[in-house]
A and B are shown apart, each in its own frame.
Chain A
Protein backbone atom coordinates (compact mmCIF):
# COMPACT_ATOMS: atom_id res chain seq x y z
CA UNK A 1 0.00 0.00 0.00
CA UNK A 2 1.39 3.37 -0.99
CA UNK A 3 1.81 5.98 1.74
CA UNK A 4 0.29 9.42 1.07
CA UNK A 5 2.77 11.98 -0.16
CA UNK A 6 4.25 14.18 2.59
CA UNK A 7 5.42 16.88 0.25
CA UNK A 8 4.14 20.33 1.22
CA UNK A 9 4.18 23.11 -1.35
CA UNK A 10 5.69 26.46 -0.34
CA UNK A 11 3.89 29.68 -1.29
CA UNK A 12 5.02 31.02 -4.64
CA UNK A 13 4.94 34.46 -6.23
CA UNK A 14 6.25 36.12 -9.37
CA UNK A 15 8.29 39.31 -8.97
CA UNK A 16 6.78 41.81 -11.41
CA UNK A 17 8.32 45.17 -10.46
CA UNK A 18 10.74 46.93 -8.14
CA UNK A 19 10.01 50.43 -6.86
CA UNK A 20 12.40 52.70 -5.05
CA UNK A 21 11.18 55.30 -2.60
CA UNK A 22 12.30 57.23 0.44
CA UNK A 23 11.83 56.18 4.03
CA UNK A 24 9.64 58.14 6.37
CA UNK A 25 10.52 58.23 10.03
CA UNK A 26 7.95 55.53 10.77
CA UNK A 27 9.48 53.35 8.03
CA UNK A 28 12.85 53.70 9.72
CA UNK A 29 11.44 52.57 13.03
CA UNK A 30 9.66 49.56 11.52
CA UNK A 31 12.75 48.43 9.67
CA UNK A 32 15.13 48.72 12.58
CA UNK A 33 16.32 45.84 14.72
CA UNK A 34 17.71 48.01 17.47
CA UNK A 35 17.20 51.44 19.00
CA UNK A 36 20.50 53.25 19.25
CA UNK A 37 20.59 54.92 22.65
CA UNK A 38 24.21 54.79 23.80
CA UNK A 39 27.27 55.63 21.75
CA UNK A 40 28.42 52.02 21.87
CA UNK A 41 25.07 50.94 20.39
CA UNK A 42 26.21 52.34 17.04
CA UNK A 43 28.27 49.16 16.53
CA UNK A 44 25.95 46.89 18.52
CA UNK A 45 25.98 43.16 17.83
CA UNK A 46 22.32 43.43 16.82
CA UNK A 47 23.42 45.31 13.71
CA UNK A 48 25.21 42.27 12.39
CA UNK A 49 28.77 41.17 11.79
CA UNK A 50 31.48 42.20 12.16
CA UNK A 51 31.24 43.23 15.78
CA UNK A 52 33.00 42.34 19.00
CA UNK A 53 30.81 39.29 19.54
CA UNK A 54 31.21 35.91 17.77
CA UNK A 55 27.77 36.07 16.18
CA UNK A 56 25.00 38.42 15.11
CA UNK A 57 22.65 39.11 18.01
CA UNK A 58 19.64 39.48 15.71
CA UNK A 59 19.82 36.41 13.45
CA UNK A 60 22.47 34.33 15.15
CA UNK A 61 24.70 34.10 12.10
CA UNK A 62 28.34 33.42 12.77
CA UNK A 63 29.63 34.43 9.36
CA UNK A 64 29.50 37.68 7.43
CA UNK A 65 28.52 35.64 4.37
CA UNK A 66 25.29 34.51 6.00
CA UNK A 67 24.18 37.86 7.44
CA UNK A 68 23.27 40.88 5.34
CA UNK A 69 23.24 43.04 8.44
CA UNK A 70 20.39 44.80 10.23
CA UNK A 71 19.48 48.47 10.56
CA UNK A 72 19.24 50.48 13.75
CA UNK A 73 17.47 53.75 14.39
CA UNK A 74 18.35 56.89 16.35
CA UNK A 75 15.41 58.76 17.81
CA UNK A 76 16.19 62.46 17.36
CA UNK A 77 15.92 64.81 20.32
CA UNK A 78 13.77 67.12 18.19
CA UNK A 79 11.78 66.64 15.01
CA UNK A 80 13.34 68.77 12.28
CA UNK A 81 12.80 69.45 8.61
CA UNK A 82 14.75 67.04 6.45
CA UNK A 83 17.90 68.81 5.20
CA UNK A 84 17.83 66.72 2.02
CA UNK A 85 14.66 68.52 0.97
CA UNK A 86 15.55 72.10 1.76
CA UNK A 87 14.92 73.09 -1.87
CA UNK A 88 11.45 71.55 -1.70
CA UNK A 89 10.79 73.41 1.54
CA UNK A 90 11.82 76.71 -0.05
CA UNK A 91 9.63 75.96 -3.05
CA UNK A 92 6.71 75.20 -0.76
CA UNK A 93 7.14 78.32 1.35
CA UNK A 94 7.26 80.47 -1.78
CA UNK A 95 3.83 79.22 -2.83
CA UNK A 96 2.21 80.04 0.49
CA UNK A 97 0.96 83.40 1.65
CA UNK A 98 2.71 83.65 5.03
CA UNK A 99 -0.03 85.79 6.53
CA UNK A 100 -3.06 83.57 6.00
CA UNK A 101 -1.30 80.26 5.19
CA UNK A 102 -3.16 79.65 1.94
CA UNK A 103 -1.86 79.20 -1.58
CA UNK A 104 -0.83 82.45 -3.20
CA UNK A 105 -3.09 83.71 -5.96
CA UNK A 106 -1.57 83.69 -9.42
CA UNK A 107 -2.63 87.26 -9.92
CA UNK A 108 -1.72 89.94 -7.44
CA UNK A 109 -5.30 91.01 -6.85
CA UNK A 110 -5.84 91.88 -3.21
CA UNK A 111 -9.04 91.67 -1.27
CA UNK A 112 -10.57 95.01 -0.39
CA UNK A 113 -9.07 96.33 2.79
CA UNK A 114 -6.27 93.78 2.90
CA UNK A 115 -2.93 95.22 3.97
CA UNK A 116 -0.63 95.87 1.07
CA UNK A 117 2.48 94.27 2.49
CA UNK A 118 5.56 93.81 0.38
CA UNK A 119 5.76 90.15 -0.52
CA UNK A 120 8.28 87.76 0.96
CA UNK A 121 10.68 85.55 -0.95
CA UNK A 122 12.32 82.52 0.62
CA UNK A 123 15.76 81.48 -0.58
CA UNK A 124 18.25 78.80 0.28
CA UNK A 125 21.52 80.13 1.67
CA UNK A 126 24.67 78.03 1.63
CA UNK A 127 27.61 79.48 3.50
CA UNK A 128 30.91 77.78 4.21
CA UNK A 129 32.04 77.10 7.72
CA UNK A 130 34.88 79.50 8.30
CA UNK A 131 37.36 79.95 11.10
CA UNK A 132 39.94 82.68 11.55
CA UNK A 133 43.55 81.74 12.12
CA UNK A 134 46.63 83.93 11.65
CA UNK A 135 44.59 86.50 9.71
CA UNK A 136 43.46 83.86 7.23
CA UNK A 137 39.94 82.65 6.76
CA UNK A 138 39.82 78.88 6.63
CA UNK A 139 36.95 77.14 4.94
CA UNK A 140 36.74 73.73 6.49
CA UNK A 141 35.42 71.50 3.72
CA UNK A 142 35.22 68.47 5.98
CA UNK A 143 32.29 70.11 7.72
CA UNK A 144 29.16 70.47 5.65
CA UNK A 145 28.37 73.99 4.56
CA UNK A 146 25.75 75.61 6.71
CA UNK A 147 22.45 75.58 4.85
CA UNK A 148 19.79 78.01 5.97
CA UNK A 149 16.59 79.46 4.62
CA UNK A 150 16.39 83.21 4.25
CA UNK A 151 13.17 85.18 4.25
CA UNK A 152 13.64 88.37 2.27
CA UNK A 153 11.43 91.35 1.52
CA UNK A 154 10.68 91.43 -2.20
CA UNK A 155 9.47 94.23 -4.40
CA UNK A 156 10.78 97.61 -5.36
CA UNK A 157 12.35 99.08 -2.27
CA UNK A 158 14.32 102.13 -3.26
CA UNK A 159 17.80 102.77 -1.94
CA UNK A 160 17.92 106.39 -2.95
CA UNK A 161 18.17 108.00 0.43
CA UNK A 162 21.53 107.21 1.97
CA UNK A 163 20.70 108.62 5.35
CA UNK A 164 17.41 106.85 5.74
CA UNK A 165 17.23 103.18 6.66
CA UNK A 166 16.07 101.47 3.45
CA UNK A 167 13.18 99.60 5.01
CA UNK A 168 11.82 102.00 7.55
CA UNK A 169 8.51 101.70 5.74
CA UNK A 170 7.97 98.08 6.78
CA UNK A 171 4.93 97.65 9.03
CA UNK A 172 5.80 96.99 12.64
CA UNK A 173 4.10 93.59 12.53
CA UNK A 174 5.52 92.59 9.15
CA UNK A 175 7.58 89.70 10.48
CA UNK A 176 4.95 88.41 12.89
CA UNK A 177 4.35 85.36 10.72
CA UNK A 178 7.81 84.06 11.64
CA UNK A 179 7.50 81.87 14.74
CA UNK A 180 9.03 83.45 17.81
CA UNK A 181 12.32 81.87 18.84
CA UNK A 182 13.04 84.51 21.48
CA UNK A 183 15.70 86.32 19.52
CA UNK A 184 15.92 90.10 19.72
CA UNK A 185 13.00 91.63 17.85
CA UNK A 186 14.01 93.29 14.59
CA UNK A 187 11.01 94.67 12.79
CA UNK A 188 12.86 96.82 10.27
CA UNK A 189 15.24 94.31 8.73
CA UNK A 190 14.65 93.31 5.13
CA UNK A 191 16.15 89.86 5.47
CA UNK A 192 15.92 87.15 8.10
CA UNK A 193 17.86 83.93 8.44
CA UNK A 194 15.32 81.43 9.70
CA UNK A 195 16.41 79.05 12.42
CA UNK A 196 15.60 75.35 12.03
CA UNK A 197 13.01 75.79 14.78
CA UNK A 198 11.27 78.53 12.81
CA UNK A 199 11.28 76.53 9.57
CA UNK A 200 9.88 73.47 11.32
CA UNK A 201 7.04 75.38 12.92
CA UNK A 202 6.10 77.24 9.76
CA UNK A 203 5.76 73.87 8.02
CA UNK A 204 3.93 72.34 10.94
CA UNK A 205 1.35 75.12 10.92
CA UNK A 206 0.43 74.49 7.30
CA UNK A 207 -2.63 72.46 6.41
CA UNK A 208 -1.40 68.96 5.44
CA UNK A 209 -3.78 68.93 2.46
CA UNK A 210 -2.23 72.18 1.30
CA UNK A 211 1.27 70.73 1.50
CA UNK A 212 0.21 67.68 -0.47
CA UNK A 213 -1.03 69.93 -3.27
CA UNK A 214 2.45 71.38 -3.65
CA UNK A 215 4.75 68.56 -2.54
CA UNK A 216 3.90 64.87 -2.64
CA UNK A 217 4.37 62.90 0.57
CA UNK A 218 4.34 65.59 3.21
CA UNK A 219 5.74 63.19 5.80
CA UNK A 220 9.09 63.15 3.98
CA UNK A 221 9.67 66.81 4.83
CA UNK A 222 10.18 65.93 8.49
CA UNK A 223 12.70 63.78 10.30
CA UNK A 224 12.22 62.45 13.80
CA UNK A 225 14.54 59.47 13.37
CA UNK A 226 17.76 58.69 11.61
CA UNK A 227 18.54 55.20 10.26
CA UNK A 228 21.81 53.57 11.22
CA UNK A 229 23.16 51.21 8.58
CA UNK A 230 24.35 47.68 9.40
CA UNK A 231 27.82 47.08 10.79
CA UNK A 232 29.01 45.48 7.55
CA UNK A 233 28.58 48.86 5.78
CA UNK A 234 30.72 50.78 8.26
CA UNK A 235 32.92 48.44 10.28
CA UNK A 236 35.90 46.57 8.91
CA UNK A 237 37.45 43.58 10.58
CA UNK A 238 41.21 43.43 10.20
CA UNK A 239 42.94 40.09 10.58
CA UNK A 240 46.30 40.49 12.25
CA UNK A 241 48.73 37.86 13.23
CA UNK A 242 48.13 38.70 16.86
CA UNK A 243 46.92 36.14 19.31
CA UNK A 244 44.45 38.62 20.84
CA UNK A 245 42.09 38.31 17.92
CA UNK A 246 40.66 40.58 15.23
CA UNK A 247 40.64 44.38 15.37
CA UNK A 248 37.72 46.51 14.26
CA UNK A 249 38.09 49.75 12.29
CA UNK A 250 35.29 52.32 12.11
CA UNK A 251 34.64 54.71 9.25
CA UNK A 252 33.67 58.39 9.39
CA UNK A 253 29.99 57.61 9.24
CA UNK A 254 30.23 55.54 12.39
CA UNK A 255 31.96 58.42 14.15
CA UNK A 256 29.28 60.84 12.94
CA UNK A 257 26.57 58.51 14.27
CA UNK A 258 28.33 58.40 17.63
CA UNK A 259 28.47 62.18 17.79
CA UNK A 260 24.77 62.26 16.91
CA UNK A 261 23.91 59.92 19.77
CA UNK A 262 26.19 61.79 22.16
CA UNK A 263 24.66 65.17 21.39
CA UNK A 264 21.13 63.77 21.66
CA UNK A 265 21.86 62.56 25.17
CA UNK A 266 23.40 65.87 26.18
CA UNK A 267 20.41 67.76 24.81
CA UNK A 268 18.00 65.59 26.77
CA UNK A 269 19.60 66.88 29.96
CA UNK A 270 18.41 70.38 29.02
CA UNK A 271 14.83 69.40 28.28
CA UNK A 272 13.46 71.56 31.08
CA UNK A 273 15.08 74.72 29.77
CA UNK A 274 12.53 77.16 28.30
CA UNK A 275 14.61 77.57 25.13
CA UNK A 276 15.00 73.82 24.67
CA UNK A 277 13.06 73.56 21.41
CA UNK A 278 15.01 76.30 19.66
CA UNK A 279 18.36 74.97 20.83
CA UNK A 280 17.55 71.32 20.11
CA UNK A 281 16.35 72.08 16.58
CA UNK A 282 19.59 73.82 15.68
CA UNK A 283 21.89 71.21 17.17
CA UNK A 284 19.96 68.25 15.78
CA UNK A 285 19.82 69.79 12.30
CA UNK A 286 23.55 70.37 12.37
CA UNK A 287 24.32 66.78 13.43
CA UNK A 288 21.87 65.27 10.94
CA UNK A 289 23.63 67.14 8.15
CA UNK A 290 26.97 65.83 9.38
CA UNK A 291 25.68 62.24 9.30
CA UNK A 292 24.20 62.72 5.84
CA UNK A 293 27.41 64.25 4.53
CA UNK A 294 29.57 61.40 5.81
CA UNK A 295 27.15 58.95 4.19
CA UNK A 296 27.55 60.73 0.87
CA UNK A 297 31.32 60.72 1.13
CA UNK A 298 31.81 56.95 1.24
Chain B
Protein backbone atom coordinates (compact mmCIF):
# COMPACT_ATOMS: atom_id res chain seq x y z
CA UNK B 1 0.00 0.00 0.00
CA UNK B 2 1.72 3.16 -1.12
CA UNK B 3 -0.24 5.33 1.29
CA UNK B 4 0.99 3.68 4.44
CA UNK B 5 4.43 3.34 2.97
CA UNK B 6 4.83 7.04 2.35
CA UNK B 7 3.38 7.73 5.78
CA UNK B 8 5.95 5.48 7.30
CA UNK B 9 8.68 7.15 5.33
CA UNK B 10 7.47 10.53 6.46
CA UNK B 11 7.41 9.39 10.04
CA UNK B 12 10.96 8.14 9.99
CA UNK B 13 12.02 11.30 8.25
CA UNK B 14 10.36 13.35 10.94
CA UNK B 15 12.19 11.31 13.52
CA UNK B 16 15.41 11.73 11.69
CA UNK B 17 15.06 15.47 11.61
CA UNK B 18 14.18 15.66 15.26
CA UNK B 19 17.17 13.51 16.11
CA UNK B 20 19.48 15.69 14.03
CA UNK B 21 17.91 18.73 15.67
CA UNK B 22 18.46 17.23 19.08
CA UNK B 23 22.09 16.48 18.29
CA UNK B 24 22.68 20.05 17.18
CA UNK B 25 20.96 21.48 20.22
CA UNK B 26 22.93 19.19 22.54
CA UNK B 27 26.16 20.16 20.81
CA UNK B 28 25.40 23.82 21.33
CA UNK B 29 24.37 23.59 24.99
CA UNK B 30 27.84 24.29 26.43
CA UNK B 31 28.12 27.30 24.14
CA UNK B 32 24.93 28.73 25.59
CA UNK B 33 26.20 27.95 29.04
CA UNK B 34 29.30 30.01 28.30
CA UNK B 35 31.58 27.04 29.07
CA UNK B 36 31.02 27.67 32.74
CA UNK B 37 32.39 24.58 34.50
CA UNK B 38 29.56 24.36 36.94
CA UNK B 39 26.80 24.48 34.34
CA UNK B 40 28.61 22.17 31.97
CA UNK B 41 29.11 19.62 34.75
CA UNK B 42 25.46 19.99 35.66
CA UNK B 43 24.51 19.48 32.01
CA UNK B 44 26.70 16.37 31.91
CA UNK B 45 24.91 15.11 35.00
CA UNK B 46 21.57 15.69 33.32
CA UNK B 47 22.82 13.86 30.22
CA UNK B 48 23.84 10.96 32.44
CA UNK B 49 20.37 10.72 33.95
CA UNK B 50 18.75 11.07 30.54
CA UNK B 51 20.97 8.37 29.03
CA UNK B 52 20.19 5.93 31.81
CA UNK B 53 16.48 6.60 31.58
CA UNK B 54 16.58 6.26 27.80
CA UNK B 55 18.39 2.92 28.19
CA UNK B 56 15.90 1.87 30.83
CA UNK B 57 13.08 2.65 28.40
CA UNK B 58 14.07 -0.45 26.40
CA UNK B 59 13.44 -2.87 29.26
CA UNK B 60 10.93 -0.81 31.22
CA UNK B 61 9.05 1.03 28.52
CA UNK B 62 9.10 -1.39 25.60
CA UNK B 63 9.31 -4.74 27.34
CA UNK B 64 7.28 -3.60 30.35
CA UNK B 65 9.64 -5.14 32.91
CA UNK B 66 10.08 -3.12 36.11
CA UNK B 67 13.83 -3.17 36.17
CA UNK B 68 15.40 -1.41 39.14
CA UNK B 69 18.98 -2.47 38.44
CA UNK B 70 20.10 0.34 36.14
CA UNK B 71 22.66 1.35 38.73
CA UNK B 72 24.03 -2.21 38.93
CA UNK B 73 24.84 -2.35 35.21
CA UNK B 74 26.06 1.21 35.18
CA UNK B 75 28.27 0.68 38.20
CA UNK B 76 29.66 -2.58 36.84
CA UNK B 77 30.60 -0.84 33.60
CA UNK B 78 32.11 1.92 35.71
CA UNK B 79 34.18 -0.22 38.07
CA UNK B 80 35.50 -2.50 35.33
CA UNK B 81 36.52 0.49 33.21
CA UNK B 82 37.88 2.32 36.23
CA UNK B 83 39.93 -0.51 37.68
CA UNK B 84 41.33 -1.43 34.27
CA UNK B 85 42.46 2.18 33.96
CA UNK B 86 43.66 2.75 37.51
CA UNK B 87 45.34 -0.64 38.06
CA UNK B 88 46.46 -1.66 34.58
CA UNK B 89 46.56 1.62 32.70
CA UNK B 90 44.17 0.33 30.04
CA UNK B 91 42.57 3.11 28.07
CA UNK B 92 38.88 3.57 28.82
CA UNK B 93 38.22 3.51 25.09
CA UNK B 94 38.71 -0.24 25.34
CA UNK B 95 37.88 -0.65 29.03
CA UNK B 96 34.44 0.83 28.51
CA UNK B 97 33.53 -2.00 26.15
CA UNK B 98 34.93 -4.64 28.45
CA UNK B 99 32.90 -3.06 31.25
CA UNK B 100 29.75 -2.98 29.17
CA UNK B 101 30.48 -6.57 28.13
CA UNK B 102 30.61 -7.68 31.75
CA UNK B 103 27.34 -5.87 32.39
CA UNK B 104 25.79 -7.81 29.51
CA UNK B 105 27.22 -11.03 30.90
CA UNK B 106 25.69 -10.39 34.32
CA UNK B 107 22.41 -9.42 32.70
CA UNK B 108 22.38 -12.67 30.77
CA UNK B 109 23.40 -14.71 33.79
CA UNK B 110 20.66 -13.24 35.94
CA UNK B 111 18.11 -12.64 33.23
CA UNK B 112 18.09 -16.13 31.78
CA UNK B 113 16.91 -17.99 34.88
CA UNK B 114 14.72 -15.08 35.92
CA UNK B 115 12.76 -15.10 32.68
CA UNK B 116 13.00 -18.86 32.44
CA UNK B 117 11.24 -19.16 35.81
CA UNK B 118 8.69 -16.55 34.83
CA UNK B 119 9.57 -13.89 37.39
CA UNK B 120 7.67 -10.74 36.53
CA UNK B 121 5.98 -7.62 37.83
CA UNK B 122 6.76 -6.72 41.42
CA UNK B 123 8.90 -9.83 41.92
CA UNK B 124 11.08 -8.87 39.00
CA UNK B 125 11.38 -5.36 40.43
CA UNK B 126 12.45 -6.70 43.82
CA UNK B 127 14.84 -9.19 42.30
CA UNK B 128 16.60 -6.48 40.31
CA UNK B 129 16.74 -4.19 43.32
CA UNK B 130 18.29 -7.03 45.30
CA UNK B 131 20.76 -7.57 42.45
CA UNK B 132 22.17 -4.09 43.03
CA UNK B 133 22.70 -4.87 46.71
CA UNK B 134 24.27 -8.25 45.96
CA UNK B 135 26.71 -6.74 43.47
CA UNK B 136 27.53 -3.96 45.91
CA UNK B 137 28.37 -6.49 48.60
CA UNK B 138 30.42 -8.63 46.22
CA UNK B 139 32.45 -5.57 45.27
CA UNK B 140 32.74 -4.82 48.96
CA UNK B 141 34.07 -8.31 49.70
CA UNK B 142 36.78 -7.79 47.07
CA UNK B 143 37.82 -4.18 47.61
CA UNK B 144 36.41 -3.38 51.03
CA UNK B 145 35.31 0.16 51.58
CA UNK B 146 38.50 1.58 50.13
CA UNK B 147 38.18 4.17 47.46
CA UNK B 148 40.34 4.14 44.38
CA UNK B 149 41.02 7.51 42.84
CA UNK B 150 41.88 7.50 39.15
CA UNK B 151 44.96 9.70 38.76
CA UNK B 152 45.37 12.31 36.07
CA UNK B 153 47.12 10.64 33.12
CA UNK B 154 48.66 11.93 29.93
CA UNK B 155 47.81 11.98 27.08
CA UNK B 156 44.38 13.07 28.13
CA UNK B 157 42.71 11.84 24.97
CA UNK B 158 43.93 8.33 25.49
CA UNK B 159 43.06 8.04 29.18
CA UNK B 160 40.08 10.39 29.21
CA UNK B 161 41.36 12.19 32.28
CA UNK B 162 40.47 15.70 31.29
CA UNK B 163 40.53 18.58 33.64
CA UNK B 164 37.52 20.10 31.87
CA UNK B 165 33.99 18.78 31.60
CA UNK B 166 33.00 19.66 28.04
CA UNK B 167 34.42 16.41 26.73
CA UNK B 168 32.48 14.33 29.21
CA UNK B 169 29.40 16.30 28.41
CA UNK B 170 29.81 15.63 24.68
CA UNK B 171 30.51 11.97 25.24
CA UNK B 172 27.40 11.59 27.35
CA UNK B 173 25.37 13.67 24.89
CA UNK B 174 26.58 11.49 22.01
CA UNK B 175 25.76 8.45 24.13
CA UNK B 176 22.27 9.83 24.65
CA UNK B 177 21.76 10.30 20.92
CA UNK B 178 23.02 6.78 20.28
CA UNK B 179 20.71 5.36 22.94
CA UNK B 180 17.74 7.22 21.51
CA UNK B 181 18.63 5.91 18.09
CA UNK B 182 18.84 2.35 19.45
CA UNK B 183 15.45 2.89 21.02
CA UNK B 184 13.94 3.98 17.72
CA UNK B 185 15.60 1.13 15.86
CA UNK B 186 14.16 -1.35 18.32
CA UNK B 187 10.74 0.20 18.14
CA UNK B 188 10.65 -0.32 14.37
CA UNK B 189 12.16 -3.76 14.39
CA UNK B 190 10.70 -7.22 14.83
CA UNK B 191 12.05 -7.15 18.38
CA UNK B 192 10.08 -3.98 19.07
CA UNK B 193 6.81 -5.50 17.85
CA UNK B 194 7.37 -8.59 19.92
CA UNK B 195 8.23 -6.55 22.99
CA UNK B 196 5.09 -4.47 22.52
CA UNK B 197 3.05 -7.65 22.32
CA UNK B 198 4.73 -8.99 25.46
CA UNK B 199 4.09 -5.75 27.27
CA UNK B 200 0.41 -5.75 26.35
CA UNK B 201 -0.25 -9.35 27.29
CA UNK B 202 2.48 -11.85 27.93
CA UNK B 203 0.24 -14.91 27.77
CA UNK B 204 -1.33 -13.81 24.51
CA UNK B 205 2.11 -13.14 23.07
CA UNK B 206 3.22 -16.61 24.05
CA UNK B 207 0.09 -18.05 22.47
CA UNK B 208 1.01 -16.26 19.24
CA UNK B 209 4.24 -18.22 19.25
CA UNK B 210 6.55 -15.41 20.36
CA UNK B 211 9.53 -16.67 22.33
CA UNK B 212 8.78 -14.39 25.25
CA UNK B 213 11.84 -15.31 27.30
CA UNK B 214 14.28 -14.80 24.49
CA UNK B 215 13.04 -11.36 23.52
CA UNK B 216 12.85 -10.16 27.09
CA UNK B 217 16.42 -11.32 27.54
CA UNK B 218 17.49 -9.48 24.38
CA UNK B 219 15.92 -6.29 25.68
CA UNK B 220 17.62 -6.75 29.05
CA UNK B 221 21.02 -7.34 27.45
CA UNK B 222 20.79 -4.30 25.19
CA UNK B 223 19.78 -2.21 28.18
CA UNK B 224 22.67 -3.57 30.25
CA UNK B 225 25.10 -2.88 27.41
CA UNK B 226 24.01 0.73 27.11
CA UNK B 227 23.95 1.30 30.88
CA UNK B 228 27.43 -0.24 31.12
CA UNK B 229 28.78 2.09 28.45
CA UNK B 230 27.27 5.07 30.22
CA UNK B 231 28.96 3.87 33.41
CA UNK B 232 32.30 3.66 31.62
CA UNK B 233 32.06 7.30 30.57
CA UNK B 234 30.74 8.31 33.96
CA UNK B 235 33.70 6.90 35.86
CA UNK B 236 36.17 8.86 33.77
CA UNK B 237 34.21 11.92 34.82
CA UNK B 238 34.14 11.31 38.60
CA UNK B 239 37.31 9.26 38.94
CA UNK B 240 36.30 7.75 42.28
CA UNK B 241 35.76 4.01 42.52
CA UNK B 242 33.93 2.71 45.54
CA UNK B 243 31.32 0.14 46.44
CA UNK B 244 28.87 3.00 46.81
CA UNK B 245 28.60 3.20 43.02
CA UNK B 246 26.21 0.28 43.33
CA UNK B 247 23.40 2.41 44.59
CA UNK B 248 19.98 0.71 44.85
CA UNK B 249 18.35 4.09 45.21
CA UNK B 250 19.68 5.28 41.84
CA UNK B 251 18.13 2.22 40.20
CA UNK B 252 14.77 3.15 41.65
CA UNK B 253 15.14 6.80 40.64
CA UNK B 254 15.93 5.86 37.04
CA UNK B 255 12.79 3.72 36.86
CA UNK B 256 10.69 6.44 38.46
CA UNK B 257 11.96 8.98 35.93
CA UNK B 258 11.08 6.58 33.14
CA UNK B 259 7.60 6.03 34.56
CA UNK B 260 7.00 9.75 35.02
CA UNK B 261 8.08 10.23 31.42
CA UNK B 262 5.41 7.87 30.20
CA UNK B 263 6.03 4.23 29.46
CA UNK B 264 7.43 3.39 26.09
CA UNK B 265 7.78 6.99 25.03
CA UNK B 266 11.41 7.80 24.42
CA UNK B 267 10.85 11.54 24.18
CA UNK B 268 8.87 11.46 27.42
CA UNK B 269 11.60 9.47 29.16
CA UNK B 270 14.36 11.84 28.11
CA UNK B 271 12.31 14.91 28.85
CA UNK B 272 11.36 13.65 32.31
CA UNK B 273 14.99 12.88 33.16
CA UNK B 274 16.07 16.34 32.04
CA UNK B 275 13.25 18.12 33.88
CA UNK B 276 13.35 16.09 37.11
CA UNK B 277 17.13 16.12 37.40
CA UNK B 278 17.28 19.88 36.79
CA UNK B 279 14.46 20.55 39.26
CA UNK B 280 16.20 18.43 41.87
CA UNK B 281 19.49 20.26 41.48
CA UNK B 282 17.75 23.64 41.41
CA UNK B 283 15.76 22.91 44.57
CA UNK B 284 18.84 21.55 46.27
CA UNK B 285 20.64 24.77 45.57
CA UNK B 286 17.80 26.99 46.70
CA UNK B 287 15.75 25.49 49.54
CA UNK B 288 17.80 22.36 50.20
CA UNK B 289 20.54 24.20 52.05
CA UNK B 290 18.24 25.84 54.56
CA UNK B 291 15.86 22.94 55.14
CA UNK B 292 17.72 19.67 54.76
CA UNK B 293 15.79 17.24 52.60
CA UNK B 294 13.16 19.75 51.50
CA UNK B 295 14.21 19.48 47.88
CA UNK B 296 13.63 15.74 47.81
CA UNK B 297 10.34 16.23 49.60
CA UNK B 298 9.12 18.50 46.81
CA UNK B 299 10.51 16.03 44.30
CA UNK B 300 8.51 13.25 45.97
CA UNK B 301 5.36 15.33 45.85
CA UNK B 302 5.85 15.95 42.14
CA UNK B 303 6.15 12.22 41.53
CA UNK B 304 3.00 11.49 43.54
CA UNK B 305 1.08 14.19 41.68
CA UNK B 306 2.17 12.95 38.27
CA UNK B 307 1.42 9.37 39.24
CA UNK B 308 -2.02 10.16 40.61
CA UNK B 309 -3.17 12.81 38.16
CA UNK B 310 -1.37 11.91 34.94
CA UNK B 311 -0.46 8.26 35.02
CA UNK B 312 0.33 8.42 31.29
CA UNK B 313 3.23 10.64 32.24
CA UNK B 314 4.83 13.46 30.35
CA UNK B 315 4.37 11.58 27.09
CA UNK B 316 0.72 12.61 27.08
CA UNK B 317 1.73 16.26 27.09
CA UNK B 318 4.12 15.67 24.24
CA UNK B 319 1.40 13.93 22.26
CA UNK B 320 -0.91 16.83 22.93
CA UNK B 321 1.55 19.37 21.57
CA UNK B 322 2.42 17.13 18.66
CA UNK B 323 -1.23 16.91 17.69
CA UNK B 324 -1.58 20.64 18.02
CA UNK B 325 1.38 21.23 15.77
CA UNK B 326 0.32 18.74 13.15
CA UNK B 327 -3.21 20.13 13.18
CA UNK B 328 -1.88 23.59 12.61
CA UNK B 329 0.26 22.18 9.82
CA UNK B 330 -2.82 20.64 8.24
CA UNK B 331 -4.65 23.92 8.47
CA UNK B 332 -1.81 25.71 6.77
CA UNK B 333 -1.48 23.04 4.12
A, B from the same assembly: no
* Residues of B near any A CB (own CB < 8 A): none
